[in-house]
Amino acid sequence: MISKWFENLRVFLIAEVDNWKNLLGDPRRFFNANESGYPVCVNTGRVLAEKGA
């Protein structure tokens, strides 16, 4: 599941970003690279959060 997400990201970057190799090759260009910034499955319709948040 995770590897498919990264493959989809790669395909998207190749299609949408002119100089995608520089983007992927320079780690200084990645910000907030933690699990909160990468939704794995956005079609579930469910959100895990504290009630009222």
Domain count, the chain: 1
Could you tell me the residue range of the domain that residue 44 belongs to?
1-53
pLDDT of residue 26: 76
CA 44 – CA 52 distance, rounded (Å):
20
Q: Which residue has the higher pLDDT, 1 or 2?
A: 2
pLDDT tens profile 38-49: 666 667 667 778
Cβ pair 5, 38 in contact under 8 A: yes
pLDDT tens profile 8-43: 888 988 898 888 887 777 777 666 555 565 666 667
User: Token pair 């090759």 is at which residue?
Assistant: 25
